[in-house]
């Protein structure tokens, strides 16, 4: 096993698997921490290569699948020095369920609310025009479904149909809440942060209850199949 593979194996056991087992939405790994913990000397480029390449996602995903989890590990973001290598380099991974059609999902036809419909309905509800936009967060652009920069509104639409233990679905919501918090810190201005859901209302209710202490001023809305808007939080 080469050094890069050794580093990935270590990171999986030390960071990826424990974060997944705890139901975390994401895990952020700092190259310098891994370098120090493994007792390496002058091998920061190897650590960054191990963490930043597409093969890292493939490796972590395959390891989880071998444990019986239908999960894809996604490298959501990386913050590196201009050279691409450095002890301060950070890599954030998220966990995404492999989407399979089964009786664990609601009927698409019965519960379908499109993104465009959600945007129109929320625009009417708030009496403010919302649009899709890519916003700058520390030099990286992230797309949000529900934006009005003039009025300081940012949000995203989630149509979640999974009926079982929706840990990955909740992780996806947490990811966007985290991004909105980062946007607020980066722009140094207050944003009205919203999540708008459709599909399985129970998932959004459980999310609001589970993460309530950490959600601060986040607003959560749900759109029913007959296009009625309910405020969950």
Share of the chain above pLDDT 90, in %: 52
Same domain, yes or no: 84 and 137:
no
Q: Is residue 102 part of a domain?
A: no
Question: What was the pLDDT predicted at 163?
Answer: 56
Q: Residues 156-181: what's their mean pLDDT?
A: 77
Question: What was the pLDDT predicted at 99?
Answer: 57
Q: Is residue 127 part of a domain?
A: yes
Question: What was the pLDDT predicted at 172?
Answer: 76
Tokens of 145: 């479904």
Residue 87: pLDDT above 90?
A: yes
Q: Residues 68-78: what's their mean pLDDT?
A: 86
Averaged pLDDT of the chain = 86
Question: What was the pLDDT predicted at 162?
Answer: 61
Q: What's the CATH code of the domain at 14?
A: 3.30.1370.230
Helix (H, G, I), strand (E, B) or coil at 36: helix
Q: Determine which helix (DSSP H) or strand (DSSP E) holds 51, and give its type and residue range.
A: helix 44-52
Same domain, yes or no: 151 and 63:
no
Q: What's the CATH code of the domain at 130?
A: 3.40.1350
Same domain, yes or no: 180 and 206:
yes
Between 111 and 209, name the one with better pLDDT.
209
Between 180 and 106, name the one with better pLDDT.
180
Helix (H, G, I), strand (E, B) or coil at 106: coil
Q: Residues 109-125: what's their mean pLDDT?
A: 83
Q: Residues 203-229: what's their mean pLDDT?
A: 89
Question: What was the pLDDT predicted at 117?
Answer: 92
Question: What was the pLDDT predicted at 173?
Answer: 85
Question: What was the pLDDT predicted at 88?
Answer: 92
Q: How far apart are CA 53 and CA 71, in angstroms?
A: 18
Phi, psi angle pair for 75, to nearest 5°: -80, 100
> Within 13 A of 55's CA, how many CA atoms are on the CB side?
8
Domains in the chain: how many in total?
A: 2
pLDDT-derived band at 199, boundaries 50, 70, 90: confident
Which residue segment(s) compose the domain that 114 sits in? 108-231
Q: Residues 6-19: what's their mean pLDDT?
A: 94
3-state secondary structure 69-94: CCEEEEEEEEECCCCCCCCCCEEEEE
Question: What was the pLDDT predicted at 31?
Answer: 95
In the 8-state DSSP scheme, what is residue 150?
T
Q: Residues 97-118: what's their mean pLDDT?
A: 62
């Amino acid at each position: 096993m080469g050094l890069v593979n050794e580093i990935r194996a270590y990171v999986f056991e030390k960071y990826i698997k424990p974060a997944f087992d705890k139901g975390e939405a994401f895990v952020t790994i700092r190259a310098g921490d891994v370098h120090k913990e493994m007792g390496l000397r002058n091998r920061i480029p190897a650590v960054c290569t191990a963490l930043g390449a597409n093969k890292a996602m493939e490796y972590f995903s395959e390891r989880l699948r071998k444990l019986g989890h239908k999960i894809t590990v996604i490298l959501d973001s990386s913050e590196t020095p201009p050279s691409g290598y450095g002890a301060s380099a950070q890599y954030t991974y998220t966990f995404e369920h492999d989407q399979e059609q089964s009786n664990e999902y609601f009927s698409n036809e019965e519960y379908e609310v499109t993104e465009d419909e959600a945007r129109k309905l929320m625009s009417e509800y708030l009496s403010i025009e919302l649009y899709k936009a890519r916003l700058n967060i520390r030099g990286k652009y992230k797309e949000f479904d529900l934006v009005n920069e003039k009025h300081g509104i940012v949000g995203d639409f989630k149509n979640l149909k999974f009926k079982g233990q929706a840990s990955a679905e909740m992780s996806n919501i947490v990811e966007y809440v985290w991004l909105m918090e980062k946007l607020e810190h980066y722009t140094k201005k207050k944003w009205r942060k919203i999540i708008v859901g459709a599909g399985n209302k129970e998932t959004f209710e459980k999310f609001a209850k589970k993460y309530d202490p950490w959600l601060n001023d986040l607003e959560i809305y749900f759109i029913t199949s007959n296009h009625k808007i309910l405020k969950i939080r």
